[in-house]
Structure 1
Amino acid sequence: MTKKTTLLLAAVVVVAVAVTAGIASLVVGPFGGTSDEADGRTGATSDPGITPAPASERTPDQIGQAFLDDWVDSDGRVVRRDQGDDTVSEGQAYGLLVAVGVGDEDAFDTIWGWTTDNLVREDGLLAWQWADGAVVDDGPASDADVDAARALVLAGDAFDRPDLTAAGVELGDVVLDAMTASTDVGRILLPGLWAQGDAPWSYNPSYASPATFQELGDASGDPRWDELVIGSRAVTASILDQTALPSNWAQVAADGTVVPLPSADGSSGTVEYSYDAARLPLRYAESCDPADVELAARMAPVLQRYDDLPMQLDLGGQSTGADQSPLAYAARAAAEAAAGDAQSASDDLRRADELSVSTPTYYGTAWAALAALQLDGSSIGPCSPLEAN
C-alpha cells in the first residue's frame, strides 16, 4: 500500500531500537526514501457512510461480497470512503482479489476496467493514487502491482480467460524488471521505483508474498519468481531471528543483512509492528511451502498474549498504541492457522469480521475479507491453512 514519491539519499541514520525481548540496538546505514502513506491505515478519518450491521457467522464469500458491496462503486472504483473518497492502486488490487475469491466475474471485469482506464501507466505498472477525477501520484507501489498480477492470473484460470492470464504475466514481468534487486541470499521485492539503486535497499517485509510469487512463476515460467521466493524467505527468516515480530519497514544490505527501520527512510517514527507489518503472517501462512508457513507460525505466541489485541506493538510484542483493527485479528488468525491452531484462528477471523462491521474502515474491511478468503477457503490460493484442517 505504501508508496514513496521521491528518492532521497540520506547520510547515516542511527536507529536505536529498544525491544523488551532482549534485542540489541541496531544501526542503520545510508539509503533513500520519503514519507509514506501508512498513516492513512490507522482508521476512519471521515464517515464512510456505511451503516454497521450485525455480523453473524458469515462465510468467506459473504464477507468478501460485503466488501465489494460497500467499498466498490458501480464503475469499478474501490473508494476509500473513510479517507476522503480517493482511490489507491492497492485498493483496486484488493478488489480484484476479493472479486475472484467470491467468483464474481462481472465485478472483476468492472474493477479491472476502471483500473486500466485510470491507473495503468505507459510502462504497464499502476499509478498509486487517484483523487477528484485524476491521478495525483503516478508512482507505482510494488505490493499493489504484484497483488493485481496475481488476481489477473487467478481470474484467468477461474473464468477461463487467457486474456486475463496474459495481462497478469505481463504486469508481473514489468515488476520483475523494474522493482526487484538481487542479494547474496536471493532476489527481493523493492517497494517502488523510488527504491532502485545500489544497496542497501529500503524494504517492506509485508510486500513479499510467496504464494503470489509461486503462482506468477507457474503462469510465466520465469525463474526470477522462484528467486523471489528464496530471497524473501531468507530475509523474513533473518528478521524473525532478530525480533519476535517484523517491523513495518526495514533495510536490506547486499549480503542479505536486515535492519528494522521506523519508516521508509529511517529518519522518523517508531520502529513497530503495525498496519504494514501485520500483513506478513497473512502472506506467509497461505504459502504451499512448509518453510514459509513456519515463519508465520513463529508469530503466534507473542500475538496470543492479548485478548484485545492492539494494532500497534513493538518488536518484542509490547503495546505501543490503543488502536483496534480487523487486521490485527486477521494477522493473528494467520499465525494461529500456520501453527495448527484452527479453532483460535477461526475465532480470530470471526472477531476480525465483527470489528469490520461494527467499525467499518476501508483497510480493515479489506483485510477481514482477504483473510477469510485466503485462510478459510481455496478460492484465492491452493493451500488455505484452515481449508487443509
Structure 2
Amino acid sequence: MRRLLLKAALGLLATAGPALLCAAEPAGDWPAFARDFIQADGRVIDHEAEAISTSEGQAYALFFALVAGDRARFETVLRWAEDNLAQGRLEDRAMAWKWGRDDQGQWRVLDANAASDADLWMAYTLYEAARRWQVPAWRLKADAMQAHVARDLVTRVGSRATLLPGPEGFSLPGGGVRVNPSYLPLFVLRGLAREAPQGPWRSLAEGLPEMLAASPAKVAPDWLHVAPASGYSLAADFPVGSYDAIRVYLWAGMTHPDDPARETVLRALAGMKACVDAQGRVAERIDATRGTCTGTADAGFSWAVLPFLMARDDLAQAQRARAAAATSPVGKRYYPRSLEQFAAGWMAGRFRFAADGRLLLAEDSECER
C-alpha cells in the first residue's frame, strides 16, 4: 500500500499541481487506520496516551471516513463523539476535548474544556458530508457547531478577530490571549465562510498571514500571544515550533493555489524549507526567534511537510522527506498516523480543497489515470 501511495506521490512531485488522481486504494490506507485506532462503537483511541480519546481524534477520523466514502464508520464516529463528548447534543455545546479512564477506573470526560479546532473540523466535515450524502440533519448540526464556536470562542483583540483555543485558560493580562496557529487551516475557514457567511471565518482567514508573520525566523510556532495594541508576538515561555506547529505546514501545503492568502502564508513559513535544506531532514523543534533546528522528527513530521515542500517547488527535498517517511513506519501512534493519513491521501490525489474550501474527491472528478 505504501509503495502504491509513494508511486502516486512521485507523479505529483513531478508536477506539484492540484490535480486529482484516481488512487488505486483508499487514501492513506484507511482500513488499516480504522483497524488500529477506531473501536467498533466509533471511539478513536490514542494508544500512547493511556488509551484516551480526544475531540481532535474524533474530528480527524470523521474527515478520513468521509474521504474514504465509509458512511457506516462515519456515523459511528460521529455518534460516539456526540454521545460522549457533547452530552448527546452537538448542537448545544462544544465537545469536551479529553475522555478516558479516571483514577477510580471509570471511563468518562476527563477535561471538559474544548479544543476549538476539533469543533471547526467537525463542523466543516459535517457540511461536506451533508452535501455529499444528502443528510440535512448533519448540516443543521454543522450550522449549530460553527455558530457556538463563533459565539463562544471567537473574540476580538484590538482590531483582530481571534480564535481562542478553548473557553478556559487562554486569557492574558491586559486583554490579550494565547493562540495556536495550527487551529486555523485556511481551507476549513474558507469552507465555513462559504456555508455561514455571517460568521467570523473570512476575518480569521484574512488575519492568518499577519499571525504567521510574528516569527522572525519565518517558521510556525506552537503558540503565539496577541495583545490589543501590539498585535502578535512569540510566546515567551515557548517560542518554539514543534508538535502543534507541524500541522501549519501541512495545512498550507494542501491549500489551493488560487486561495488569495496562500502565497503570503507560504512565504511566512520559509524557515522550514531553509531548515530542511540545511539539515536534509525535518527537525523536531525549530526556534521561532533564531531559526535553530534541533532533534530528528518522526516520520509523521516528514509526511506533514511533503505538501508544503511540493507547494514551494522544493522537489529534491520533498523526495528526501518522502524517503524518510517511507522508511520509518509510525506504527500504532495516533498523531503521526493522522499526519500521514492527511498527507498520503492528499498526495495520492484522493482529495483536494477548492479555493472556496469545498472538499473535492477523486471519485467525483475526471481523474488522471
Whether TM-score is above 0.5 comes out as yes
Cα separation, 1, equivalents of 2:140 and 2:195: 9
Q: 105, 108, 116: which is aligned to 2:74?
A: 108
From 328, 342, 353, the equivalent of 1:370 is 342
In structure 2, relative to structure 1, the CA distance for the partners of 1:115 and 1:375 (3 Å cut) is same
Q: CA deviation at 1:112?
A: 0.2
| Paired residues, number | 325
Bigger relative contact order, structure 1 or 2, given CA contacts below 8 A and separation 6+?
2
Q: Answer yes or no: is the 8 Å Cα contact 1:349–1:371 preserved in 2.
A: no
Number of the residue aligned with 1:352? 325
Pair 1:225-2:201 in alignment: yes
For 1:336 and 1:144, locate their aligned partners in 2 and report how far apart those are by CA, in whole Å. Answer: 26
Task: Name the residue aligned to 2:9.
Answer: none
Q: How does 1:276-355 map to 2 (within 5 A)?
A: 276-288=244-256, 289-296=259-266, 298=270, 299-315=272-288, 316-322=290-296, 324-341=297-314, 344-345=317-318, 348-349=321-322, 351-352=324-325, 354-355=327-328
How many angstroms apart in 2 are the aligned matches of 1:74 and 1:346? 37
Tell me if 1:239 matches 2:214. yes
Residue 231 of structure 2 aligns to which amino acid in structure 1? T
What amino acid is the match of 2:280?
A: D
Which deviations, in whole Å up to 9, do the C-alpha atoms of 1:115-135 show, x marking residues without a partner? 111001564210011113211
When normalised by structure 2's length, the TM-score is 0.79
Q: Distance in 2 between matches of 1:164 and 1:209?
A: 21
Deviation at 1:140, TM superposition (A): 0.5
Alignment match, 1:171: 145
| Greater strand fraction, Structure 1 or Structure 2 | 2
For structure 1, list consecutive stretches of 5 or more residues without a partner in the other structure. Answer: 1-53
State the 1:79 CA deviation: 0.3
Listed as ranges, the gaps of 5+ residues in structure 2 are 6-22, 102-106
Residue 202 of structure 1: aligned partner:
178
Give per-residue Cα distances to partners, 1:170-229, cap 9 Å, x unaligned.
111111111112245541211110135862110111111111011111112324211111
Answer with 61-70 or 170-179: which moved more.
Answer: 61-70
Say whether the 8 Å CA contact 1:296–1:334 is kept in structure 2: no
Are 1:86 and 2:52 an aligned pair?
Answer: yes
- Which residue identity does 2:248 align to in structure 1? L
Match of 2:98 in 1: 129
Partner amino acid for 1:303?
A: V
Residues 101-160 of structure 1: per-residue CA shift (max 9 Å, x gap): 212111111100111110015642100111132111111011111111111112112222
Percent identity between matched residues is 24
The CA RMSD measured in Å over matched residues stands at: 2.8
Secondary structure (helix, strand or coil) at the match of 2:189 reads: helix
1:95 shift after superposition: 0.6
Other-structure match for 2:20 = none
8 Å CA contact 1:185–1:256 kept in 2: the answer is no
Deviation at 1:377, TM superposition (A): 2.8
Distance change (3 Å), C-alpha of 1:145 and 1:157: same
Given candidates 47, 57, 63, the residue that maps to 1:97 is: 63
1:8-33 CA distances to partner (integer Å, 9 max, x unpaired)?
xxxxxxxxxxxxxxxxxxxxxxxxxx
Cα distance in structure 2, aligned partners of 1:104 and 1:350: 29
2:115 to 131, 141, 146: 141
Tell me the equivalent position of 2:135: 161
